[in-house]
Amino acid sequence: NAGVTQTPKFQVLKTGQSMTLQCAQDMNHNSMYWYRQDPGMGLRLIYYSASEGTTDKGEVPNGYNVSRLNKREFSLRLESAAPSQTSVYFCASSEDTGYRPQHFGDGTRLSIL
Amino acid sequence: DAKTTQPTSMDCAEGRAANLPCNHSTISGNEYVYWYRQIHSQGPQYIIHGLKNNETNEMASLIITEDRKSSTLILPHATLRDTAVYYCIVWGSSNTGKLIFGQGTTLQVKP
């Protein structure tokens, strides 16, 4: 009964390095999301995928790319990491983008030096 | 998007009911009220949602006023493990799945 699984849980990068955050869900959900959470702030949506084969920008997409690899997996890539991208990243999934609850993973804590 | 207003923090005694208020005076007719919580260092957890009627599940009850301008999340018998930040979110079809998290209410359950 894993739900949403994110890897890695922690990562430290140097400025300019690239990194892919992985997310997988086992609930057969159509929609998946990537959020970031900075200290003292609520979550902000980076990108989402309404269904397999589609992706759309959220509030803060700059500096990120995503890939919906299949129905289960949705990855987030930082091509050239910057200190401003130091954050906790959460992946979520839901049955669809309508009135359906989102289920979250436990996050990836990313530090960029 | 309807804006929500929540108290910054609240305390509750263990075993007592925790009542968390939320104001959403600009809510539209087709917008739902959702509640999530985030326990320290974990991902947000869905609690409950409703449109007009009061709702209850195994975790909590949601009371929505008749004019829908405010709601209250009730944890009937709070435990120490309920200490968390609670987010009230108004969500409509225009959001296309985008949850907009505000600052939330930090609930401290005390022994």
Q: What is the pLDDT, as a whole number, of residue B32? A: 92
Cβ distance of B43 and A33 shorter than 8 Å: no
Asked if residue A50 lies in contact with residue A105, where contact means CB atoms within 8 angstroms, the answer is: no
Cβ distance of B97 and A31 shorter than 8 Å: yes
* Mean pLDDT for all residues in chain B: 92
| CB proximity list for A64: less than 8 A, separation 6 or greater | A34, A46, A47, A76, A77, A78
What is the dihedral sign for C-alpha B61, B27, A99, A88? Answer: negative
Query: In terms of C-beta distances under 8 Å and separation of at least 24 residues, what long-range contacts does A60-69 make, across chains too?
Result: A60/A36, A64/A34, A66/A34, A68/A32
Q: What is the pLDDT along chain A (113 residues), one digit of tens a residue?
A: 679 999 999 999 999 999 999 999 999 999 999 999 998 778 899 999 999 999 999 989 999 999 999 999 999 999 999 999 999 999 999 998 777 889 999 999 999 99
* φ and ψ of B59, to 5 deg: -95, -40
pLDDT at B1 over 60: no
Of the candidates A31, A42, A101, which has its C-beta nearest B102's C-beta? A42
Cβ distance of A102 and B91 shorter than 8 Å: no
Name the minimum distance, in Å, from the CA of B92 to any CA of chain A: 8
A89 vs B: CB within 8 A: no
